[in-house]
Structure 1
C-alpha cells in the first residue's frame, strides 16, 4: 500500500501525511476491496463485515487526521496574528514548548570513562565496561538546535510572506485611494455635494458598499471639498501625500508617479506664466518706442 501511494503522491510533507496520503490510501483500499468483493461473491457475510470494519477504521483515522490538521492550521493562524500585530516587535522572546520539553535533556551528563589496561590499549581490545556510550546531553542539545533552526526558518518564511502581503495591500489601497479622489473630484466639478452624498447614502442602504468603503468615501469627500475651497488640484494632493509618506519612510510607486505629474504641471504653468509676462512686457516697450518716434516727427 505504501509503495503504491509513493508512486502516486511522492510528497511527504506534514500536510500530505495528514490529509492527502490518507485520502489516497482510503480510495486505493476501497478499490482493492471492491475487486476482492467481486471475486468473493457468495462466500458469506464474513468478508463484507471485515471490509466494513476496515472502512470504519480508515474513516476514523481520516477524521483524526483532519482534526490534527485543524489544530495545525489554528497554530499557524495564531503565529501569523502574532507577527502582524502592532506590538509584535516589542514582545520579549519567549521559550517554546519544544525548548521547555527538551531543556532538561540538554544539560551535560557525566562523561563515561573507558576502563582498559595498557596491554588492551596496545592490542586494540576494550572491555565491555569500557565501551563509550553516547551522551544524552549532546543528543538533547542537537535536537534542541534542530528544533530551533526549523522554527526560525518557519518564522522567517512567515515573516517574508506577511511583509509581501502588507506591501501588496498598501500599494493596492494607495492606488485605489488616488483613483477614488480623482473620481470624486471630477464628479464634484459637475454636480453639487448634496447629490453625491445622496448617492452614497443610497448605496449604503442597499448594502452595496461595506463600512470600510463607506468611511473611505466620506473621507475622500471631505478631502475633495477642502481642496475645492482652497483651489488645490488632485495632483497637488498626491504630491502632499507623497511628501508625508516619504518622511515616514513609506514608498509607493503610484504616489511617486502622481507626484512627478504634479511637479511637471507646476513647472509648465510657471513657464507659461513667464512667457506671457515677457510677451506683454515686449509689447508695451514696443508701443512706447513708437509713441516716442511719433512725437519726434511732430
Structure 2
C-alpha cells in the first residue's frame, strides 16, 4: 500500500533502530543496499535515500511517506503533509539547529552585524539566502560540499551549518551568532496519498507505533506492593505519567504500578522503600500508546 523512503547517512542508524523497536524491522541484503522491505501489509516498498532528496520525491508522489528533517523541507520548499515530528536525531533526542557561525574572534554578535558582500559557505543555499535577505544583508552565498567549518577565514567569512551539540563548531574555533531554524526529524506524506482514506489510516497506524517507541524511551515501569497503612505515604513519593494503577491484593494491601522516568529512578526507589513499599520491580517498556 505505502511506498516508504527512509534517510541514508547520519540519520540512517537511528531510524533503522526506531523501526526495529516499533516491530517494523527493515530488511535489506546489505548495509549499502538502497532497496529494502518491511514485512508488513501496510508497506509495499522501502527505499533508503539521502534526506536532502526526500521532501522533493515525496512532494512529487514518487513515495507516499518519508522521513527527513524540517531543514530539508524548508530548503527545498516542498509541498508535503506533515504527520509530525519524531524527536530523535543522529546521537540524541535533541533537535538540530541550522546556525550562522563566524570566527571566534569576530566582533559580530548577530547576522545583522555582518557587512554586505560577506562570503558565506553552506549546503543550505536557499534557506541561507532567505535568512540574510530578511536581515538586510547582501551576502555572497556559495555551495559547500563538506568540511564547511574549515573554510573560515580564507575561503569564507561565515558559514551556515547544522549542529546538534555545537561541539564541532567550537573545536574549529567558531562561534554561533544566529539560529536560522530548529529541526527535528519529521515524517512527511504526499498530499494526494494522505487524502486517500486507506493510505491515511495506514500512515497513522505506522505513526502510532513509531511514537509509541519514542514515548517509551527514557521511561520504565515500576511495580511494588504496599500495605493499607503505608499506601498514602508511598503514593506521595511515587511519580507517574497520569496516576498510578492501584489494585487490591488477595491477602491484603495493594499492588501499585507506575511509569517513571529512568533518570529519576535512583532517587525514587530508595524513597519508596523508606516510605514502606516492598517487592519493587523495575521493568523496561517497549512502547507507550496513550
Question: Could you state the TM-score of these two structures normalised by the residue count of structure 1?
Answer: 0.20
Higher helix content, 1 or 2: 1
Bigger relative contact order, structure 1 or 2 (CA pairs below 8 A, ≥6 apart): 2
Greater C-alpha radius of gyration: 1
Q: Normalising by the residue count of structure 2, what TM-score does the alignment of the two structures yield? A: 0.21
